[in-house]
Structure 1
Amino acid sequence: MPIPAPNLYPDFNIIRLSHVELFVSDLAWSRAYYVDTLGLQVTFEDADAIYLRAMEERGHHCVILRKGTGGEVGVLGFKVWDEGELDKAEAWFKTRDLPTQWIERPFMGRVLRTRDPWGVPLEFYAQMDRLPVIAQEYKLYRGVKPLRIDHFNLFSQNVDEAVKFYGDMGFRVTEYTADEETGRTWAAWMHRKGGVHDIAFTNGTGPRLHHMAFWVPTPLNIIDLLDLMATTGYVSNIERGPGRHGISNAFFLYIRDQDGHRTEIYCSDYQTLDPDLEPIKWDLKDPQRQTLWGAPAPQSWFELGSTFQGASLTESDLKAQPIVAP
């Protein structure tokens, strides 16, 4: 299907992605992985949860690690322009017969909880507690030196429908992969904040979270992380990379924690600020779309993902397959 024209004047104004809640089976293991190894900063912790932020972030958290059924995702969070936009968002979701609920969330103001048509749990807020600037506290930098959360990527059972729904919310397509044989979209990258993507959708059994991603300063930080993981007991958690994507032009590495949650370490993509920027089209059969250079993605990268709490899985009927590593 053709990529729809962007909605430049959506009914409510989303600024950017904000945070994700991951359920993990062992908080101590997860703390060692995400804090001591990757380098995220702890902003609060108790017996049930650990709140984390990256080095450039002023908001209280971008990741919540919560003790529970490992491999599940509690929610994807987005920041809106102001409190009035939250009321507009509630009305927008209600007109689509989707559930809405006002909830209490620590370290945040009013939070609107809802789900997309496929059951992905979403929440929107306008104000999160602000913390002191630590971007120049270089003694705190560890691991891969994560600067900020960059995007989410989801498995979707129908990418064209996901693009239409999130496009109605104001997300704009920057790049996409077309399956020329069926005329359908196999994957799409969509943004609000002016990068390549805040959220992306990849064909597959869904909805599931494929990965969250963190922006880092340079490719050398990724090499340093690989050396660290290879010599501290995490070599088996390295899944794919390093390499460079054709789509987004980003230098990347994919790693997975013991519960299966996948993280992309990411740098060197480009800005997409102009509202009339035309999406870049890729053919599914072009191997450089997923890997400009580097080894092809392993089978696990196409098949494994984190489930969303309360969402039922549906297999995609689009059976097209890109290049997979032997």
Structure 2
Amino acid sequence: MPLPKCNLYPPFNIVRLSHVEYAVTDLAASKAFYADTLGLQVTHEDGDVVTLRAMEERNHHCIVLKRGADPVANVLGFKVFSEDDLDRAKAFFEGKGLPGEWVERPWQGRTLRTRDPQGIPLEFYAAMERLPTIHQQYRLYRGVKPLRIDHFNCYSTSVDASVAFYNEIGFRVTEYTEDEETKKLWAAWMHRKGGVHDMAFTNGRGPRLHHVAFWVPTPLNIIDLLDLMSTTGYLANIERGPGRHGISNAFFLYVRDPDGHRIEIYCSDYLTVDPDHEPIKWDLKDPQRQTLWGAPAPRSWFEEGSLFAGVAVEEPQLKAQPIVAP
């Protein structure tokens, strides 16, 4: 299926991805992993919730850890440009037969709760509590030294359908994988903020959250994290990498938190702000698509992911299979 024509004038203006909320079964263990090992900064803590931000971020949080019975992803958050954009977003989603509900969220202004056609729970806001800058307080840096949240990647039962919908609300495709036999999309990377992606979709049982990524200064920070995790009880939590993606050119590492939620540590992709940026196409069977150096990903990377709370999972329409590590 051909890519849809880029929509430069969407019905409302999304600035970027903002935050994820996870339900975690052991709040103390999760806090230790995200704060002490990865190096995110705690901005709030009580008996049921821990919020954290990365070093460059001024918003109150980019990740919310909420005590829960099951390890699921509760919602993916996005920041819009203005309060008027929230009203336009509500009208848009309701016009598509999707829910549009105003909800109260701590540290956020007016917040719209909805979902996409696949069932991924989404929320949009224009204003979140702002915190003092800390990116030059180098005494606070630890772990992998995360600078900012970078992107979400979700399993989709129809990547073509997901791309069509997110294209309509202004996300632009930067790179994509096409199955040569069916000409259907197997994966796609879409952005709002001018990097390779704010949102990506991977063919698979869905909707599920594949991973959340954090941007770090250099590949050496990833090496430091590997040394730290391998000597502090987290060796089994290292899933894939380090390596360099063919898609996005990013240097990467995939790790799992104590509940199995997948986190990517990510740096070195490229700028995509030009409105006439041309998407890069990859063949599903190209071994350099996954890793520029040719090493395939493990089976867990293609099959495992975080459930969204209360959302049923269905089988993908496309049955094509990428190269999988033995």
Q: Is the 8 A contact 2:287 2:294 kept in 1?
A: no
- C-alpha displacement of 1:33: 0.5
Q: Is the 8 A contact 1:241 1:295 kept in 2?
A: no
Identify the residue that residue 30 of structure 2 maps to in structure 1: 30
Identify the residue that residue 125 of structure 2 maps to in structure 1: 125
Partner deviation per Cα, 1:231-266 (whole Å, 9 max, x = no partner): 000000000000000000000000001211000000
Q: Is the 8 A contact 1:4 1:164 kept in 2?
A: yes
Identify the residue that residue 246 of structure 2 maps to in structure 1: 246
Identify the residue that residue 47 of structure 2 maps to in structure 1: 47
What is the alpha-carbon root mean square deviation over aligned residues?
0.7
Identify the residue that residue 287 of structure 2 maps to in structure 1: 287
Q: Is the 8 A contact 1:245 1:289 kept in 2?
A: yes
Q: Which amino acid is the alignment partner of residue 233 of structure 2?
A: G
Q: Is the 8 A contact 2:33 2:258 kept in 1?
A: no
Q: Is the 8 A contact 2:249 2:268 kept in 1?
A: yes
Identify the residue that residue 2 of structure 1 maps to in structure 2: 2
Q: Is the 8 A contact 1:241 1:294 kept in 2?
A: no
Identify the residue that residue 229 of structure 1 maps to in structure 2: 229
Identify the residue that residue 16 of structure 2 maps to in structure 1: 16
Partner deviation per Cα, 1:138-169 (whole Å, 9 max, x = no partner): 00000000000000000000000000001000
Q: Which amino acid is the alignment partner of residue 111 of structure 1?
A: T
Q: Percent identity, aligned pairs only?
A: 73
Q: Is the 8 A contact 2:12 2:85 kept in 1?
A: yes
Aligned length: 326
Identify the residue that residue 76 of structure 1 maps to in structure 2: 76
Q: Is the 8 A contact 1:212 1:262 kept in 2?
A: yes
SS at match of 1:21: strand
TM-score of the two chains, using structure 2 as the length reference:
0.99
Following the alignment from structure 1 to structure 2, what is the Cα–Cα distance between the partners of residues 93 and 207?
A: 18
Identify the residue that residue 65 of structure 1 maps to in structure 2: 65
SS at match of 1:161: helix
Following the alignment from structure 1 to structure 2, what is the Cα–Cα distance between the partners of residues 316 and 22?
A: 24
Identify the residue that residue 220 of structure 2 maps to in structure 1: 220
Identify the residue that residue 296 of structure 2 maps to in structure 1: 296
Unaligned 5+ segments in structure 2 are: none
Q: Which amino acid is the alignment partner of residue 17 of structure 1?
A: L
Following the alignment from structure 1 to structure 2, what is the Cα–Cα distance between the partners of residues 202 and 69?
A: 27
Q: Which amino acid is the alignment partner of residue 228 of structure 2?
A: L
Q: Which amino acid is the alignment partner of residue 175 of structure 2?
A: E
- C-alpha displacement of 1:69: 3.0
261-270 vs 316-325, greater mean Cα deviation: 316-325
Identify the residue that residue 270 of structure 2 maps to in structure 1: 270
The residue correspondences of 1:136-155 to structure 2 (distance < 5 A) are 136-155=136-155
Q: Is the 8 A contact 2:119 2:311 kept in 1?
A: yes
Following the alignment from structure 2 to structure 1, what is the Cα–Cα distance between the partners of residues 178 and 284?
A: 6
- C-alpha displacement of 1:70: 3.4
Q: Which amino acid is the alignment partner of residue 37 of structure 1?
A: T
- C-alpha displacement of 1:208: 0.3
Structure 1 outlier segments of 4+, above 3 Å? none
Identify the residue that residue 101 of structure 2 maps to in structure 1: 101
Q: Is the 8 A contact 2:112 2:123 kept in 1?
A: yes
Q: Is the 8 A contact 2:176 2:187 kept in 1?
A: yes
